[in-house]
């Protein structure tokens, strides 16, 4: 391909589209984030996603199949073990996680917590699986009285540390998280250490937007590192920097919301002349999926759809535009955790055919293999390329 080729990939964090065959093993039988959302709260009004072919992926109430989809469309399965943000994004970029990251349904081992407390010079509170919004209400006042950070986890492989910004400044909380990251090595090599700053008063504590994830580094090559090695720009928008621990990126654009993520994506499209732009839109998962706020989830999809013309209007002749996701987070299922689901795939560009049905793919890594072929690279990334199925013939 040409050196002015660009790929813009937007990951809708947690917008799953139906349970994977092994979902029951994860406690997620029947999960269908998008399907249940459309059926339960009324279909979101998403005309641009509909035109691209979202309704062609599976029956979705109020989102009809497009007669002539403007994009190629399909669903991606997950081969990696788990249903985490990290495993999903790594697989989208060509790296399969064969061994699941450790989880802690009973909290972290006492010896590990003691080592952490010794390293940071203070005791901790919590050490339980919990909803982040609930645990700060339960322990926030004790935290303010003692200065002890709140440690908790979830069904995902995460070591989360919450602290009031007036008690432990954000920069200090980040340092505490870096200390935890250094301690959390196999067999306790959790996927992410997450800083969870909050503010407010007793009975009305609220998390702030200064969350930060400290992930393990990818254990092998990804599309990001392959592109960077060949001299391409690789821009991460949103928490991509954290998910890949910065490995393979040449640029990072900070964002803390879907709206800001879209703004930064447009900024990157002005800055990057060749290479990859990878965006994570976090609000679907963080604000709505985990909190089971279905109406807000639907409205967020509508807001994303309203901004799609801005992206589509700036595509260049050699651009390839992709919309996908990393896992599900079905608000209709019991619990508040991620769900093991297929993710949507919509892919569009001037050099691509329109309306190609890519079916249900075995792995999210098929996207990475396709992008690798698009950029003319060779290598051993996981996945099977479908580039030749979608390219226009001369």
Domain parsing of the chain, residue ranges:
6-95+218-390, 110-209
What are the DSSP calls for 72-137, one per residue? Answer: EEEEE---SSS--HHHHHHHHTT----SPPP--TT---HHHHHHHHHHHTS--EEEEE--HHHHHH
Yes or no: say if 294 and 41 are a contact pair by the CB < 8 Å rule: yes
Q: How far apart are CA 37 and CA 44, in angstroms?
A: 8
What are the DSSP calls for 50-71, one per residue? Answer: HHHTGGGSS--TT-PPPSS-SS
Pairing of strands 6-12, 319-324: parallel
Q: How does pLDDT run across 293-303, given as a tens digit for each residue?
A: 999 999 999 99
What is the predicted pLDDT for the residue at 340? 97
Q: How does pLDDT run across 382-393, given as a tens digit for each residue?
A: 999 999 999 997
What is the predicted pLDDT for the residue at 2? 64
Banded model confidence at residue 276, pLDDT cuts 50, 70, 90: very high
Q: How far apart are CA 294 and CA 42, in angstroms?
A: 10
Q: How far apart are CA 240 and CA 250, in angstroms?
A: 12
Q: How far apart are CA 266 and CA 233, in angstroms?
A: 15
Q: How does pLDDT run across 65-98, given as a tens digit for each residue?
A: 999 999 999 999 999 998 999 999 999 999 999 9
* 104 pLDDT more than 70: yes
What is the predicted pLDDT for the residue at 298? 96
Q: How far apart are CA 256 and CA 6, in angstroms?
A: 24
* 378 pLDDT more than 60: yes
Banded model confidence at residue 131, pLDDT cuts 50, 70, 90: confident
Burial of 220 (0-12, 13-18, 19+ CB in 10 A): middle
Section 172-196 average pLDDT:
96
**Residues 68, 70, 76, 82, CA torsion sign:** negative
The H or E element that residue 20 is part of is: none
Section 254-264 average pLDDT:
96
Give the three-class secondary structure for 367: helix
pTM above 0.85, yes or no: yes
* 309 pLDDT more than 70: yes
Q: How far apart are CA 280 and CA 194, in angstroms?
A: 16
Yes or no: say if 235 and 202 are a contact pair by the CB < 8 Å rule: no
Yes or no: say if 275 and 232 are a contact pair by the CB < 8 Å rule: yes
* 201 pLDDT more than 70: yes
Long-range contacts of 142-151 (CB under 8 A, 24+ apart): 143/167, 144/202, 147/122, 148/122, 148/123, 148/124, 149/120, 149/122, 149/124, 149/125, 149/173, 149/176, 150/124, 150/125, 150/126, 150/196, 151/108, 151/113, 151/116, 151/124, 151/125, 151/126, 151/127
Yes or no: say if 148 and 125 are a contact pair by the CB < 8 Å rule: yes
Cis preceding linkage at 187, omega within 30: yes
What is the predicted pLDDT for the residue at 42? 78
Q: How far apart are CA 129 and CA 235, in angstroms?
A: 34
Q: How does pLDDT run across 325-336, given as a tens digit for each residue?
A: 999 999 999 888
Yes or no: say if 338 and 87 are a contact pair by the CB < 8 Å rule: no
Q: Is 3.40.1160.10 the CATH number for 110-209?
A: no
* 307 pLDDT more than 90: yes
* 191 pLDDT more than 70: yes
Give me the percent of the chain exceeding a pLDDT of 90.
91
CATH class of the domain whose range is 6-95+218-390: alpha beta
Q: What is the mean pLDDT of the chain?
A: 95
* 3 pLDDT more than 80: no
Residue with tokens 């919004």: 133
Section 38-61 average pLDDT:
95
Q: How does pLDDT run across 20-32, given as a tens digit for each residue?
A: 999 999 999 999 9
Rounded to 5°, the CA angle 322-326-329 comes to 125
* 4 pLDDT more than 90: no
The H or E element that residue 281 is part of is: strand 275-281
């Amino acid at each position: 391909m040409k050196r002015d080729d660009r790929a813009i990939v937007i990951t809708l964090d947690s917008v799953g589209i139906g349970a994977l065959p092994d979902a029951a093993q994860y406690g997620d039988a029947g999960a269908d984030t998008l399907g249940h959302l459309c059926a339960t709260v009324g279909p979101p009004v998403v005309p641009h996603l509909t035109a691209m072919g979202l309704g062609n992926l599976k029956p979705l109430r109020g989102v009809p199949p497009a007669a002539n989809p403007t994009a190629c469309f399909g669903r991606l399965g997950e081969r990696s073990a788990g249903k985490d943000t990290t495993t999903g994004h790594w697989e989208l970029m060509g790296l399969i996680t064969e061994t699941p990251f450790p989880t802690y349904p009973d909290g972290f081992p006492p010896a590990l917590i003691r080592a952490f407390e010794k390293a940071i010079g203070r005791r901790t509170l919590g050490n339980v699986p919990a909803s982040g919004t609930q645990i700060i209400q339960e322990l926030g006042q004790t935290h303010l009285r003692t200065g002890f950070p709140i440690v908790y986890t979830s069904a995902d492989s995460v070591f989360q540390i919450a602290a009031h910004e007036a008690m432990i400044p954000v920069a200090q909380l980040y340092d505490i998280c870096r200390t935890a990251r250094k301690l959390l090595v196999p067999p306790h090599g959790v996927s992410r250490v997450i800083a969870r700053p909050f503010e407010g008063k007793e009975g009305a504590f609220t998390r702030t937007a200064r969350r930060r994830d400290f992930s393990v580094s990818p254990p092998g090559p990804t599309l990001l590192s392959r592109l960077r090695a060949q001299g391409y720009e690789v821009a991460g928008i949103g928490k991509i920097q954290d998910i890949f621990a910065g490995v393979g990126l040449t640029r990072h654009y900070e964002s803390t919301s879907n709206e800001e993520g879209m703004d930064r994506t447009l900024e990157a499209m002005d800055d990057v002349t060749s290479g990859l732009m990878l965006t994570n839109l976090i609000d679907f998962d963080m604000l709505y999926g985990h909190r089971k706020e279905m109406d807000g989830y639907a409205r967020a999809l509508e807001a994303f759809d309203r901004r799609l013309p801005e992206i589509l209007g700036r595509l260049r002749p050699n651009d390839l535009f992709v919309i996908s996701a990393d896992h599900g987070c079905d608000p209709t299922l019991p619990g508040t955790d991620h769900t093991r689901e297929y993710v949507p795939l919509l892919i569009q560009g001037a050099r691509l055919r329109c309306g190609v049905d890519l079916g249900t793919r075995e792995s999210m890594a098929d996207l990475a293999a396709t992008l690798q072929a698009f950029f003319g690279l060779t290598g051993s990334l996981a996945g099977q390329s479908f580039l030749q199925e979608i390219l226009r013939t001369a």
